[in-house]
Amino acid sequence: MLRPPPAQPPPGGASNRSGRQQLPPGQHSLRLPRHSRPASRSLRGGPRTVSQPQPPPTSAPAPLALSSQSLLGIFSFDLAAQWLGWAFASALKTEKFYDLFGSLTFIASGVGGHLGGTAAAVPRARVATALLCVWATRLGTHLVRRITRDGHDKRFDGVRDNPKRFLVFWTIQGLWVFITSLPVTLLNLTPQQRSLGLWDALGA
């Protein structure tokens, strides 16, 4: 019987049962390394992006909180200055530098609030602080001259020898300084202000 001739492999290599193409002898398949393969794309056709974690937003302190802290600091300074003066006056049993401490507290509180505030470069705040210092200097000079001339103050008769009652007078002076200078203090804590005008000149 005649046998059929063996099947010739197709040009370019034959395929085996697993479906892989078999290359002729002497030829090897060329496989690209993983790092040189084209990047995989998403279903929409664009490159895949990896979302980076965003840092939590930092919240800035509110202006009202800053103003409250500044007002509390100035109020504490006014009281501390008066209590320091009370300690010396109570030990010496004199009221001769009672008004001097009040005037110096006015000036120190106004200048400190202006330099430490948020409106140090605002013209209105500068003018108001300067006028506060001029007024406190004039008042303090008058009161110190009067107590020096008279030698005593009738308001403190029966009080200068009682430290507790004497402390009440010094504490009231601290509250008076804070409340009287409060408009200038708030002005020094307000960075956005209108420019000076005619009403400012009339008020001065």
pLDDT at 157: 87
Using one digit for the tens of pLDDT, what is the confidence trace for 119-159?
777 788 888 899 999 999 999 999 999 998 988 888 888 88
Choice among 47-61, 81-95, 106-120 with the minimum mean pLDDT: 47-61
Report d(CA 78, CA 16) in Å as an integer: 99
Q: Which of 60-64, 87-91, 113-117 has the highest mean predicted lDDT (pLDDT)?
A: 87-91
Q: Where does the pLDDT of residue 64 fall: very low under 50, low under 70, confident under 90, or very high at 90 and above?
A: very low
Would you state the structure tokens that stand for residue 177, as one six-digit string? 């300084």
List Cβ<8 Å contacts ≥24 apart for 194-198.
Answer: 194/124, 195/123, 195/124, 196/123, 196/124, 196/127
H-run or E-run covering 134? helix 123-150
Quick one: residue 13, left, alpha or beta (phi over 0 = left, psi -120 to 50 = alpha)? left
More confident residue, 20 or 84: 84
pLDDT of amino acid 203: 65
Q: pTM of whole model > 0.75?
A: no
- Mean pLDDT across the chain, nearest whole number? 76
pLDDT at 199: 73
Q: Which of residues 116 and 119 earns the better pLDDT score?
A: 116
Mean pLDDT, rounded, for 181-196 = 83
Per the model's pLDDT, the better-predicted residue between 67 and 80 turns out to be 80
155 or 26: which carries more pLDDT confidence?
A: 155
What does the pLDDT average to over 40-49? 51
pLDDT at residue 23, rounded to an integer: 54
